[in-house]
Amino acid sequence: MDQLAWDLGDPAGTMQLFDQACNGALQPGSGQCRDFHPMKGPMLTQTLVGLSGEQPFHWRGDRATLGHFAGTTSVLQGADAAFTAAQMQRLQAYLATISFPPNPSRNLDGSLRASVAGGSPVAGQTLYMTGNLAGGQCVTCHALPNGGGSSVISANLLLTTQDMNIPQLRNMHEKDGFDSATSATNRRGFGFAHDGAHPTLIDFFRLPVFRFASGATGDQQRRDVSAFVLSFENGTHASVGAQATLGGSASTGTARRSQLVTIANAGSAQLIAKVVVSGVERGYLYQSATGSFLTDLSGQTETLAGLEALADAGMAVTYTLLPNGTGRRAIDRDGDGVLDGDERGAGTNPDDPSSYPGACPTGCENIFGDSFEPAQAP
């Protein structure tokens, strides 16, 4: 997402028949969506993360599937030909592997903070669910957990000039930082809404389509709902990437380490540990069922107390929380099915998935898709 608005209307284009759901779960007969005009005005780039289930695409919902973007490569990007259906399928498969980074507006355990940007996310969540802030509940259109919808809302309900698709809300915190009054403090060139014209969510919530209370009460409600939207759950736990270090010159203490263990025990993320022993980096993968760690040597485990005992002024043990399903790379970094310590003992390279001892281990075919001759141990 490049944080820019692009005016990509085509003066020579033709009208496109509207073929999406209009006004979704809202009251039938509340409005009518119109055919798509080729001139659409400036539109912000939208994220390519989390597209699964978010159809239709584009701010106006004028692309039913990702496959309908195939022509963009030749019309807009200058390629000799549009992407084929097979190429678009590969692109879609790749995009499905990308996740949002953790939302920094949440507590490390994933809960809502007491305050974000002068508002209460908890109070904002209540308003979002039950506040009747736009002729109905916010959640009716911006459904949980993603905040998106599968229909287009007619212009008469939005009090705008164009019908608009319901966008997901999982990356709103990435849009914050635009100040239309000065260039000195800007981190963005555009703000919120389809054209990026509103510097903050609070400014956006001042549009006449919203029905906040009057005066100071309404201003606080806007701050609260803004705080909740900036804290939106995005599918990646808030603790992912968090670290704690014992020993060395930058120790964070056992309290921080214990917090990471608690999060791992809750199943929210996987905990790993790394420590350099006698010049060799060792890896450990925490097992919440036993409270111990698998090590990078087959059949060897380690306790939390055992790892803590390794930490001293000259040796740092660093703990990191990873997304669920990725922790094994701490003990098998190249993913070839052979633990790093076993590879070092056999003389093969733990950084190279084509280098492993003996026959292809279980799962190595999934890395390459084809058989190959490995680099055998000496």
* β-pair type (164-165, 5-7): unpaired
Please state, in angstroms and rounded to a whole number, the distance separating the CA atoms of residues 238 and 106.
6
Please state, in angstroms and rounded to a whole number, the distance separating the CA atoms of residues 342 and 334.
13
* β-pair type (164-165, 152-153): antiparallel
Closest of 311, 315, 304, 299 to residue 271, by C-alpha:
304
Which residues of 80-224 form beta strands (DSSP E)? 152-153, 164-165
Position 154 scores a pLDDT of 95
Position 373 scores a pLDDT of 45
Cβ neighbours of residue 63 closer than 8 Å, sequence gap 6 or more:
56, 57, 69
Position 292 scores a pLDDT of 97
Strand partners, 7: 42
Position 83 scores a pLDDT of 93
Position 377 scores a pLDDT of 47
Tens of pLDDT, residue by residue over 284-301, are 999 999 999 999 999 999
Position 374 scores a pLDDT of 46
Q: Is the pTM of the predicted complex or chain greater than 0.75?
A: yes
- Going 173 to 119 to 192 to 152, the CA torsion angle's sign is positive
Which residue ranges in the chain fall short of pLDDT 70?
Answer: 1, 183-185, 361-378
CA 179 to centroid of chain Cα atoms: 25
Please state, in angstroms and rounded to a whole number, the distance separating the CA atoms of residues 235 and 170.
8
Angle between helices 121-130 and 215-230 (to 10 degrees): 100
- In the block, tokens 């903050």 appear at 200
Kind plus residue range of the DSSP H or E element containing 246: strand 243-246
Per-residue burial over 140-152, b if 16 or more Cβ lie within 10 Å, else e, is: bbbbeebbbbbbb
Tens of pLDDT, residue by residue over 20-78, are 999 988 877 788 999 999 999 999 999 999 988 889 999 999 999 999 999 888 888 88
